[in-house]
Structure 1
Amino acid sequence: MIVKMKFLSISGPRIDIDRVCDVYLSKYEMQLENALTELKTTNNLLPFAEMNPYKEPLTKAEQFTALLPEGSARMDVSMTEQEILDLIRDVNRDYIQLQEQRELQKKKQEILREKLNILEPFLPLELDLYKAMRYKYMKVRFGRISVDYYKRLEKYLFEDLDAVFQEGIRNENYVYGCYFVSNIDASKVDSVFNSLHFERIALSSDYMGTPAQACESLRSDMEETEGEIAKIDERIEELMMRQGSRLLGARKRLEELSNNFDVRKMAARVKEGDAKEDYYILCGWMGEDDVASFLEEIKNDPRVFVVVEEDREKFFGDPPTKLKNPKFFKPFEMFIRMYGLPAHNEMDPTMFVALTYTFIFGAMFGDVGQGLCLFIGGGLLYLIKKINLAGIISVAGIFSTIFGFLFGSVFGFEDVLPALWLRPVEAMTNLPFIGQLNTVFIVAVAFGMGLNILVIIFQIVNAVRNHDTENIWFSNNGVAGLVFYGFLVLTVVLYMTGHKVPGNIMMAIFLGIPILLFLFKEPLTNLVDRNHRKIQEGKGMFLVQGFFELFETMLSYFSNTLSYVRIGAFAVSHAAIMEVVLMLSGAHLGDPNWLGVVVGNAIVCLLEGLIVGIQVLRLEYYEMFSRFYKGSGREFHPFQNHHTEV
């Protein structure tokens, strides 16, 4: 159902806007409209320019509560606004101090890791780093050289170069190590190594012992630093846990205060003449029942003034759409939103979709076992995760189970249960002129005819609500279309059941007159509405256009009706597919492979269930909605979440 909306204008002293939002409006769902835009005829309107003082504390509260383990504390909502702000400030001060200590330890850890990465390639070297850095008559150069140039270096070392190279770690690209050279030959040897692209690596002069010992010392320092970081993290967790209940309550209250303050984005302020005090103005849409409760609550409050404007949509546009359906039908609102929400003067098709979708799904996918699996699996997923599609699957599973009993099918086995109605593959019916035809095909087409008549009636109801003369009386989905299609259905049913069909005169009246109404619907509408508009394209072109539109109308009636054959086709194909699964599993031999039966059922349940679900949705959208539903409404957004929408 669509909640009837009313447009409200709320005003009062400017300084009172927070109290009104907190005490009154927070209890009700109201979609705010921009007062500066809506109240164009009001003079001296100004926007609110204040910054939200609760944004930063709320961000901090969200940051702190995110550090709490889920369910670790109960919410404390007893604090005042000032106590909340003091709490956030104190916790933030302590948190910043701990974070600064943690950052210092992290930087220390990064420095140690960088030193370790530099030193590790020299692990195999057997030399005292502290002494090597302080040799008096000798230089020690640490670095790396590419493998190709290292081969040339070996030649120089063995023949002409007065230096000793000690190799460290070697990989596929580089050889790490150091060379020793006397002070006298240092310049010459350095030049040679530079020419061979030896990359010098600077090591700290503070290392003690061999590279292996120095690396071990660095690792020990890193572990110690990691321990300090863990201790600081524990202190942060203790801080948050100690204040957990109050922080959760503070976050909730700050969210409310921040949302209420953000209402100013949609409000306007006005100052009349020499008045000492500014006034705020809020305007927007609220449900009819909420309006009555709100007015009752503020009737003794002299600082709040409310004006309820009736029929505002006639002058300022359509109200937003708010759907209100029983919990059983609530998940099916997802399909309505996918297509488009109904306008305020349209029918809400949620219940219609829920009933027809699940019924058709069950008819196309009738199996007791698989239906129960869909019902249980979808139901559990909906209860745990609140996924709307899972709720839809669960309800569809109920109808699959019902049709499974009617078809006598359980996990594809058709010799376990008796068919309460018929077996889709076997049931046949003789029809005049057509001959023998599968019974479920006949029933599916008859069901589709009934649905087509029903959606035409829905269209007439919507047209009456919109005062749309053409679609009430003269269109193919109006009264003329109902008479035409209904008479055709009646004639076909009488003929197929062996009864006498209406005579030629009756056919001329009930088929001929609607066709003329289809053809001349535009001038007839103008005549009824007393709109003396002439046909602009000329009479000849009007008749040609009308002929093709008439042909399209006849074709749409035919295609819409035959489209429902897919219901019977899928019922038959499901039984045939399960017969193949059981045959491949050896069930026809009396000794089935139960693993094959289970896997086959799972595959069919998933793949065919998906295909059937899509096909039923196609029937809803293209064969039903196209006849009576536009879905041109805009969704209702209550102001509690409005600041995220603007």
Structure 2
Amino acid sequence: MIEKMKFLSITGPKADIDRVVNTYLSKYEIHLENALSELTAVESLSPFMEINPYKEALSTANSFYDELADPEKISAKPMDTEQALNTIRRIQSDYQELSNKRADLESQLAALDESLRVIRPFRNINYNISSILKFQFIHFRFGRIEKEYYQKFEKYIYENLDTIFIKCDEDDQYVWGLYFVPEHEAQKVKAVYSSMHFERIYMPDTYEGTAKEAFEQLTETRNRAAADLASADQKKADFLLRNQKDIVASRNAIAQLSGNFDVRRLAACTHGDKDVFYILCGWMTEKDAHSFQNDIKDDSRIFCIIDGEEDEHLKPGIHQQPPTKLKNPKLFKPFEMYIKMYGLPAYNEMDPTWFVALTYSFIFGAMFGDVGQGLLLFIGGFLLYKFKHITLAGIISCAGVFSTIFGFMFGSIFGFEDVIPALWLRPMNNMMSVPFIGKLNTVFIVAIGFGMCLILLCMVFNILNAWKAGDVEHIWFDTNSVAGLVFYGSAVVSIALILNGKTLPGGIVLFIMFGVPLILIFLKEPLTALIEKKSEVMPKEKGMFVVQGLFEMFEVLLSYFSNTLSFVRIGAFAVSHAAMMEVVLMLAGAESGNLNWIVVVLGNLFVCGMEGLIVGIQVLRLEYYEMFSRFYKGTGRKFEPFRSVK
């Protein structure tokens, strides 16, 4: 069902808005509207212009809150405003100090890693690096050559050059080394090395001792720096752990303050004789609205008008339809997911949650009737819904109940049809004679009959919804209105008479049953205009009106026929389920009498998963296209309170 809403206009001194929000509004769910948009009849309104002073503190608190392992499970005592702000400032200051130390260590580690990267290939040089870097008369270069060019260099060029190349390290692609050359030959030799794609590596003068000693010393220093960095990370983690309750408490307090302050964005200001007053507008449930009004009755600084009650200083004009807040029993609650997927019902529209819950579960059970598999769906869905709060699992659990019921009706348990008797029929074997058609599976006939009843019921829903909305066309002349109900109902009655061997009514009665409704549907636009007393009843282009009307009538008749046949899928899936399980048992060796139980178990799991998914989708298709499209618009807007009541 849809909760009944009341529109509230709340006003008081501008400086008192925070007290009102904290003391009263925080206790209730209120869907706030923009007061400037709603109160167009009130003159001299201005926006409530103030900058949120808690925004920066909330951002800081959220950054700490997000770093906690599981903040929602941390219980913390409430804090007042000053205490919360001071706590966040203290935590930010201490944490920043730890972060700065960590950043320095991280920078040191990066520098050491770079130094190690440079010297690692040359660590086998058994000579003082700083001495090499001070050579004046011998030219030298540290670098690397691709292996392909090094082999050519070594084979064809090296012996003819006045140079010494000391190979230090290699991998699959490069050879690292150091070459020496007399100063006067430096340019010539450098050119040769460049032609061999020698890549110079700049060696800083910070190393001490031999390359090996420098490498080992750097490695040791780097390990100490890494340990210090890990220690700094642990200190940050320990700091957050020690202060987690303060972080949660201060964050919650500041979030509440910031949320309260954001209410100003939707408020308006009006000037009285002496003071400035705020005005807040919004929707509450009828129960909350009366509780709120009772709560503030002794507070002289706040004044509230509910719905159309008017005061000489404040006359609210309601411009938007009320938001929709659904309230259904726990059993039907999971099915609200399907309603929201299609669209929330408008405030004056019927909430179809109960209808979906019953029809979806019933049709699913009819299409997937098996005692064993139904119990699996029921138990599995129930456990997932209870402990993991998965909404779809709740729907599956309800559907599993009806699968179990229809399993008894069809006499099927895990595909075995010789274990329990069928309380109704076996879907694959039961046939009946249909006039003009011949033998047809009974479940197909029952499925179509059931679908016809659902279509008629949806037409009744459409008439009721249209009656609430005062929509003349959809009450009397639409495809799913009274005219459509009479036509389709007449078709259902006629088919029932034929199946039972009864004679049809006379021609005049048939014309009234079928012809008059079709004429009313054909003339729905001019008839609606006539009832609503519009100036133009008939359209100007009458020829086009007739042609368009004829095509629409053809589409109406075709849709009645196709929508009805669409329910055949209920019987088809009931038969296919039995057929699939028959195949599983055949593969398991049921005919030979030696059952392979592994095949039986795996086959049941496969059918339960695959067919359950397909049937679930097909039932949802029937709900949306064959039923919802007849009576449900789903144009409502969600009830969104500015704060969830805790």
**Bin of the TM-score, shorter chain as denominator length:** over 0.9
Is 1:206 paired with 2:206?
yes
| 1:26 to 1:63, Cα distance in 2 relative to 1, 3 A | same
The answer on whether the counterparts of 2:365 and 2:399 sit within 8 Å (CA) in structure 1 is: yes
Rounded Cα–Cα distance in structure 2 between residues aligned with 1:5 and 1:299 = 20
Shift, 1:225, TM fit = 1.3
Rounded Cα–Cα distance in structure 1 between residues aligned with 2:440 and 2:149 = 88
- Counterpart AA for 1:351: W
More displaced, 619-628 or 465-474? 465-474
Shift, 1:195, TM fit = 4.7
More displaced, 123-132 or 322-331? 123-132
Please give the residue correspondences for 1:458-497 in structure 2 after superposition, counting only pairs within 5 Å: 458-497=461-500
SS at match of 1:446: helix
More displaced, 300-309 or 514-523? 514-523
Rounded Cα–Cα distance in structure 1 between residues aligned with 2:299 and 2:500 = 71
The answer on whether the counterparts of 1:475 and 1:518 sit within 8 Å (CA) in structure 2 is: yes
More displaced, 405-414 or 197-206? 197-206
Shift, 1:278, TM fit = 2.2
Shift, 1:306, TM fit = 1.4
Q: Which residue of 2 aligns with 1:250?
A: 250
Shift, 1:109, TM fit = 0.7
Shift, 1:214, TM fit = 2.8
Is 1:387 paired with 2:390?
yes
- Counterpart AA for 1:432: P
The answer on whether the counterparts of 2:144 and 2:177 sit within 8 Å (CA) in structure 1 is: yes
Shift, 1:47, TM fit = 2.2
Deviations 1:588-634 (A, max 9, x none): 22222222222222222222111111111111111111111111122
The answer on whether the counterparts of 2:38 and 2:316 sit within 8 Å (CA) in structure 1 is: no
Is 1:568 paired with 2:577?
no
Rounded Cα–Cα distance in structure 1 between residues aligned with 2:72 and 2:513 = 73
The answer on whether the counterparts of 2:142 and 2:178 sit within 8 Å (CA) in structure 1 is: yes
Deviations 1:481-519 (A, max 9, x none): 222222221222132123444343432332233223223
| 1:525 to 1:69, Cα distance in 2 relative to 1, 3 A | closer
- Counterpart AA for 2:349: E
Please give the residue correspondences for 1:30-109 in structure 2 after superposition, counting only pairs within 5 Å: 30-70=30-70, 74-109=74-109
The answer on whether the counterparts of 1:65 and 1:240 sit within 8 Å (CA) in structure 2 is: no
Shift, 1:110, TM fit = 0.6
SS at match of 1:279: strand
Shift, 1:539, TM fit = 4.2
Is 1:303 paired with 2:285?
no
Is 1:111 paired with 2:111?
yes
The answer on whether the counterparts of 1:458 and 1:628 sit within 8 Å (CA) in structure 2 is: yes
| 1:433 to 1:185, Cα distance in 2 relative to 1, 3 A | closer
- Counterpart AA for 2:123: L
- Counterpart AA for 2:611: E
Q: Which residue of 2 aligns with 1:455?
A: 458
Please give the residue correspondences for 1:218-237 in structure 2 after superposition, counting only pairs within 5 Å: 218-237=218-237
| 1:585 to 1:211, Cα distance in 2 relative to 1, 3 A | farther
Rounded Cα–Cα distance in structure 2 between residues aligned with 1:359 and 1:400 = 8
Shift, 1:265, TM fit = 1.4
Is 1:518 paired with 2:521?
yes
TM-score (normalised: structure 1): 0.93
| Aligned counterpart in structure 1 of residue 632 of structure 2, from 629, 632, 637 | 629
| 1:538 to 1:198, Cα distance in 2 relative to 1, 3 A | closer
Shift, 1:320, TM fit = 1.8
Is 1:374 paired with 2:372?
no
Shift, 1:152, TM fit = 4.8
More displaced, 305-314 or 544-553? 305-314
- Counterpart AA for 2:111: I
- Counterpart AA for 2:474: N
Q: Which residue of 2 aligns with 1:418?
A: 421
**Number of equivalenced pairs:** 640
| 1:162 to 1:309, Cα distance in 2 relative to 1, 3 A | same
TM-score (normalised: structure 2): 0.93
More displaced, 567-576 or 514-523? 514-523
| 1:160 to 1:39, Cα distance in 2 relative to 1, 3 A | same
| Gaps in structure 2 of 5+ consecutive residues | 310-314
Please give the residue correspondences for 1:216-615 in structure 2 after superposition, counting only pairs within 5 Å: 216-272=216-272, 275=274, 277-310=275-308, 316-615=319-618
- Counterpart AA for 1:596: V
More displaced, 41-50 or 80-89? 41-50
Shift, 1:548, TM fit = 2.7
Q: Which residue of 1 aligns with 2:174?
A: 174
Rounded Cα–Cα distance in structure 2 between residues aligned with 1:597 and 1:128 = 78
Shift, 1:191, TM fit = 4.5
| 1:314 to 1:359, Cα distance in 2 relative to 1, 3 A | farther
Rounded Cα–Cα distance in structure 1 between residues aligned with 2:462 and 2:87 = 60
| Gaps in structure 1 of 5+ consecutive residues | none
More displaced, 64-73 or 527-536? 64-73
Rounded Cα–Cα distance in structure 2 between residues aligned with 1:338 and 1:46 = 38
- Counterpart AA for 1:27: K
The answer on whether the counterparts of 1:4 and 1:287 sit within 8 Å (CA) in structure 2 is: yes
Structure 1 vs Structure 2: percent identity of aligned residues? 53
Shift, 1:637, TM fit = 1.6
SS at match of 2:643: helix
More displaced, 229-238 or 451-460? 229-238
The answer on whether the counterparts of 1:138 and 1:181 sit within 8 Å (CA) in structure 2 is: yes
Shift, 1:169, TM fit = 2.2
SS at match of 2:591: helix
Shift, 1:359, TM fit = 0.7
Rounded Cα–Cα distance in structure 2 between residues aligned with 1:552 and 1:202 = 83
Rounded Cα–Cα distance in structure 1 between residues aligned with 2:85 and 2:419 = 70
SS at match of 1:411: coil
- Counterpart AA for 2:276: D
| 1:554 to 1:229, Cα distance in 2 relative to 1, 3 A | same
Task: Report the aligned-residue RMSD.
Answer: 2.5
